[in-house]
């Protein structure tokens, strides 16, 4: 980072998106850099237009975020932290509009079903938007409109809209996990509970995955995530993405990773970082 300028953090979406909220929580002193796509977020860091990237990887309701696990190993970036954002949905409208005036709302396609009970109870129709925060920005420019938008309260604050109802989501546990990423890996211990994320490809031998996982079981290393995805357009070339508890220099983790190496063609550590309190 350039010490003479305020550091910047890139995220996907418009100002006011839940990814922006994650940036505000994790790095409140950094300047947010909105990007249209996840690839754009990664490019912003690699090209020096941002110092860090904030990328969503999974949601408690909808599972993993599409394409992220494919992008991470190819990004050239490394995980230095994680953040959890509880998806709290607010109904917002232009100043002076009452809740009873709102008959129609817009929001991201994923967000609308999460507030279905509230919308049905108030007789409000809906239509999908490309981006909830972007829909809030568009609504702010529509003079005289009585439509509403479902988004984060951060979007209302940024775009000058009034929040008419808060926490209208059907589920109170909907949370998104984000990864904070930087150009350089940081292997230092920065907390009592460290996590290690890595990707690997098993060798083409019988029971390779079973054998590869054996070292974690025998060494008592807790694996909190294991996901597979195709690479290179082949049904036989499969990579695995894994999160484990511990630091690579912890003796049990070190032994487990060494044993994993015997059964893999490729093993790359994507990041070593402290576990967030959001896991509790």
Positions annotated as catalytic residues are 176, 178
Question: 213: closest CA among 259, 268, 254, 269?
Answer: 259
Residue 246: C-alpha distances to residues 144, 172, 215 (Å) = 56, 30, 14
Q: Is-contact 45 180, C-beta < 8 A? A: no
Task: Give the Cα-Cα-Cα angle 135, 59, 160 (nearest 5 degrees).
Answer: 25
Rounded Cα–Cα distance for residues 164 and 97 (Å): 9
How does DSSP assign 16-82, residue by residue? Answer: TSHHHHHHHHH-TTSEEEEESSHHHHHHHHHTTS-SEEEEEEEETTTEEPTTHHHHHHHS--EEEEE
Burial class, 91, CB count within 10 angstroms (exposed 0-12 / middle 13-18 / buried 19+): buried
Q: Is-contact 106 149, C-beta < 8 A? A: yes
Sign of CA pseudo-dihedral 268, 193, 223, 56: negative
User: Which tokens in the block code for residue 162?
Assistant: 């009034």
Q: The tokens 């995220």 sit on which residue? A: 11
The enclosing H or E element of 188 equals: none
């Amino acid at each position: 980072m350039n010490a003479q300028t305020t550091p910047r953090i890139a995220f996907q979406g418009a100002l006011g998106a839940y990814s922006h909220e994650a940036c505000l929580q994790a790095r409140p002193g950094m300047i947010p850099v909105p990007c249209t796509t996840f690839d754009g977020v990664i490019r912003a860091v690699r090209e020096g237009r941002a110092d860090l990237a904030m990328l969503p990887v999974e949601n408690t309701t909808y599972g993993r975020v599409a394409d992220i696990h494919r992008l991470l190993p190819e990004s050239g970036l490394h995980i230095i932290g994680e953040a959890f954002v509880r998806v709290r949905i607010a109904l917002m409208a232009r100043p002076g509009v009452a809740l009873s005036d709102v008959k129609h709302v817009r929001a991201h396609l994923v967000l609308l079903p999460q507030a279905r009970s509230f919308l049905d109870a108030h007789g409000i129709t809906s239509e999908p938007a490309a981006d909830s925060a972007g829909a809030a920005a568009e609504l702010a420019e529509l003079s005289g409109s009585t439509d509403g938008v479902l988004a984060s309260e951060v979007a209302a604050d940024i775009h000058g809209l009034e929040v008419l109802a808060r926490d209208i989501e059907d589920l109170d546990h909907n949370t998104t996990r984000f990864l904070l990423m930087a150009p350089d890996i940081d292997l230092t211990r920065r907390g009592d509970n460290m996590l290690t994320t890595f990707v690997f490809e098993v060798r083409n031998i019988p029971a390779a995955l079973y054998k590869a996982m054996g070292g974690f079981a025998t060494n008592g290393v807790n694996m909190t995530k294991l996901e597979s995805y195709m690479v290179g357009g082949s049904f036989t070339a499969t990579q695995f993405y894994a999160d484990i508890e511990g630091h690579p220099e912890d003796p049990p983790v070190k032994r487990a990773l060494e044993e994993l190496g015997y059964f893999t063609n490729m093993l790359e550590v994507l990041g070593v970082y402290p576990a967030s309190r959001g896991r509790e």
